[in-house]
């Protein structure tokens, strides 16, 4: 009698900053991997969970009812221990004893680099799914969580506009983006802001002041200014509007509210497509690739093409937002 072929284990994990769309990606990766003949596992607590053996067999119950939830049910962490070869060896042994031969990581480029080192050490292939609301991973036009974050920001700015117009005030709204101004740029354009400051676009406060004063003289009653946190200009800009333009100004820092919320339809669909592509790439023998979406097409790139390149904002967006910084 022929013995049944052992199903090969594949583990799914989330790592780095959380973003909406991670849970749909986890659910789809588990279900599609099972359809393809794998035995799917879940890793809780990111890299720390690999080391501490917080790994469980994925069941239908564990991934049911998570599609609409923001954040990640698998939780996340940043582990300094993973930089130590002995702890990586411990993580490898945890995978090996369960027959887990492949990994899918949903996160950012820091997580991808960590697993690339893990692959170099022990030969465990992985597929990466880009997930960060900053949308700052090189090689892909889109990362999971961006559309949801933009809609959270849009709703907040629309609400702030009501108060701004009621009291004829200026409001400075700071959004996330330490090194990348994507969220601020797109939010400013889609919400009709008068000022936008991001790290990638040079700004001229003197020119901005002259423009806003001219608009006020011609009937403008309120001002919306969007800044990326990486500019470190939010407090200064608020004081500057008060002092130089003469309009009462308030600062609102949106903070971590941007990370949460139920994933939008777009993020849910993108999660499914990325997850299917990740499983397919591992089945095709790819070892350390990142799923990408470029120019309307899904594909994958080697980790070196992603982790060692600097993300560049779309030049068209920069051109459109140029007048908001001058």
Do the beta carbons of residue 131 and residue 108 sit within 8 Å? yes
The pairing of beta strand 55-57 with beta strand 39-43: antiparallel
Q: How far apart are CA 275 and CA 29, in angstroms?
A: 5
Q: Say how many residues make up the chain.
A: 326
- For the beta carbon of residue 29, count every other beta carbon within 10 angstroms: 30
Tell me whether residue 162 is one of the annotated catalytic residues: no
Q: How far apart are CA 290 and CA 130, in angstroms?
A: 7
Residue 297's φ and ψ, nearest 5 degrees, are: -125, 140
Based on the number of CB atoms within 10 Å of its own CB, is 8 exposed (0-12), middle (13-18) or buried (19 or more)?
A: middle
Radius of gyration of the chain (CA): 22
> Beta partners for 59?
none
Q: How far apart are CA 69 and CA 22, in angstroms?
A: 9
Residue 98's φ and ψ, nearest 5 degrees, are: -100, -5
Q: How far apart are CA 224 and CA 201, in angstroms?
A: 18
DSSP assignment letter at 134:
T
Query: Given 134, 136, 147, 267, which residue is catalytic?
Result: 134
At 175, is the secondary structure helix, strand, or coil?
strand
List residues with catalytic annotation. 134
């Amino acid at each position: 009698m022929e013995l049944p072929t052992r199903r090969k284990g594949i583990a799914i994990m989330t790592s780095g900053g959380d973003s909406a769309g991670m849970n749909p990606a986890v659910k789809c990766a588990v279900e599609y991997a099972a359809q393809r003949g794998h035995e799917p596992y879940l890793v809780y607590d990111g890299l720390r969970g690999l080391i501490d053996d917080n790994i469980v067999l994925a069941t239908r119950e564990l991934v049911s009812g998570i599609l609409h939830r923001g954040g990640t049910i698998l939780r996340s962490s940043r582990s300094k221990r993973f930089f130590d070869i002995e702890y990586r060896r411990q993580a490898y042994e945890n995978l090996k004893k369960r027959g887990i031969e492949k990994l899918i990581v949903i996160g950012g480029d820091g997580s991808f680099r960590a697993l690339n080192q893990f692959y170099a050490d022990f030969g465990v292939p992985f597929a990466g799914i880009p997930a960060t609301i900053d949308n700052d991973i090189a090689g892909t036009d889109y990362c999971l969580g961006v559309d949801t974050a933009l809609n959270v920001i849009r709703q907040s700015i629309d609400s702030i506009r009501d108060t701004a117009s009621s009291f004829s005030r200026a409001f400075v709204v700071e959004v996330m983006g330490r090194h990348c101004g994507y969220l601020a740029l797109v939010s400013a354009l889609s919400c009709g802001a008068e000022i936008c400051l991001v790290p990638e676009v040079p700004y001229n406060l003197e020119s901005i002041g002259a423009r806003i004063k001219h608009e006020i003289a011609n009937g403008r009653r309120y001002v919306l200014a969007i800044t990326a946190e990486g500019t470190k200009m939010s407090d200064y800009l608020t004081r500057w509007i008060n002092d130089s333009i003469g309009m009462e100004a308030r600062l609102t820092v949106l903070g971590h509210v941007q990370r949460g919320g139920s994933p939008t339809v777009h993020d849910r669909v993108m999660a499914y497509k990325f997850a299917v592509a990740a499983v397919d790439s591992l089945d095709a023998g790819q070892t350390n690739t990142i799923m990408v979406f470029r120019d309307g097409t899904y594909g994958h790139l080697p980790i070196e093409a992603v982790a060692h390149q600097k993300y560049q904002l779309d030049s068209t967006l920069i051109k459109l937002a140029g007048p908001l910084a001058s």
